[in-house]
Amino acid sequence: MAIQSVLKTLALLDGWIDGDEVASILRARGLEVITTDVAEDSGSTTFLRIVVPGLHGRRAGGTAPTTGIIGRLGGVGARPDAIGMVSDADGAVGAVAAAIKLATMAERGDQLPGDVIITTHICPNAPTIPHEPVPFMGPPVPMATMNLHEVDEAMDAILSIDATKGNRVVNHRGFAITPTVREGYILPVAPDLIDVYEWVSGRPAVVLPLSTYDITPYGNDLYHVNSILQPAVATTAPVVGVATTAVAPVPGTATGANHAGDIDQVVRFCIEVAKGYGAGTLRLYDENEFARAVALYGSMSHLQSGGG
């Protein structure tokens, strides 16, 4: 179980915390952590890049593929507008908790086959923005800057964790997964991921529906369910969203709305996917079918651009 790692992370991030403090705690667990402070007119934050070496990963001279886990969010807090941790913090909590859990596993001899690269950012005072049906947390820096620091070219596949409770399309308490997205294509939901979801949750899989708008860059004045698929505009790797969800719409700005049990399932899902993907026993999509789709209908990579 990952619940202890989740509880530690919730306690760690629930306050006026900065990325350097988080990084120092992770380094004490033997993890490689790089921090990058970024300040722009819209705000500032600290990005974290955490590396967990795999037994047969590239760090060890092997060839096992690398799993990327991105904790996507606007901020862990919305100070001074809101006191305490906001619902939107789930992405950062899930990413940091996954790092702590993987460190614990490695200490006890359970090293994953492939490397895992975990990225997120820590911002206790992110802005809020209007959105329907409930307000969102806005990123403290532009989305292109977020992708620059969170999407790593060494990631062969990406799991993007994001609080996705501010909608009326998934009325389910727990988490949901998206179809796999690659280079402008929304691909079928991967059967292997459905298996892992059901094993982890003990329930039928819940899928977050996507529109083409959701896989285009922010800033084009099209409706996005949230930023969960924004990493997909900045990579050729397959991306799957892992969304914490709720029965009723919950604003990203709401406090007291983070559920440890839901995030625990998300962390366990991501780790189980990383195990199988690194070992070559789990697929996020059918590569031959994707190649056929491109041959038949051409590239859709223009959807990764700003248009024009």
pLDDT digits (tens, 9 = 90+) for 73-123: 999 999 998 899 999 999 999 999 999 999 999 999 999 999 999 999 999
User: In which band, very low, low, confident or very high, does the pLDDT at 308 lie, cut at 50, 70 and 90?
Assistant: low
Query: What average pLDDT does the structure give for the chain?
Result: 95
CA-angle at 122, arms to 272 and 264, nearest 5°? 30
Q: Residue 256: which region, alpha, beta or left (left: phi > 0; alpha: psi -120 to 50)?
A: left
Predicted confidence (pLDDT) at residue 138 exceeds the cutoff of 90? no
130: cis peptide before it, omega within 30°? Answer: no
Taken in order 158, 204, 168, 271, the sign of the CA dihedral is negative
Query: Chain-centre distance of CA 246, in angstroms?
Result: 17
Predicted confidence (pLDDT) at residue 125 exceeds the cutoff of 80? yes
What is the residue-wise DSSP string for 40-100? Answer: ETTEEEEEEEEEE--TTSGGGT--PPPEEEEE--S-SBBTTTS-SBBGGGHHHHHHHHHHH
Predicted confidence (pLDDT) at residue 134 exceeds the cutoff of 80? no
Q: What is the pLDDT of residue 129?
A: 81
Copy the structure tokens of residue 231: 């990493």
Predicted confidence (pLDDT) at residue 9 exceeds the cutoff of 70? yes
Mean pLDDT confidence for 212-222: 95
Mean pLDDT confidence for 282-293: 98
CA distance 204 to 199: 9
Q: What is the pLDDT of residue 75?
A: 96
Domains of the chain: 3-304 (3.40.630.10)
Q: What is the pLDDT of residue 133?
A: 82
CA distance 9 to 118: 15
Q: Is 184 helix (H, G, I), strand (E, B) or coil?
A: coil
Q: What is the pLDDT of residue 170?
A: 95
Predicted confidence (pLDDT) at residue 4 exceeds the cutoff of 70? yes
Percent of the chain at pLDDT > 90 equals: 91
Q: What is the pLDDT of residue 280?
A: 97
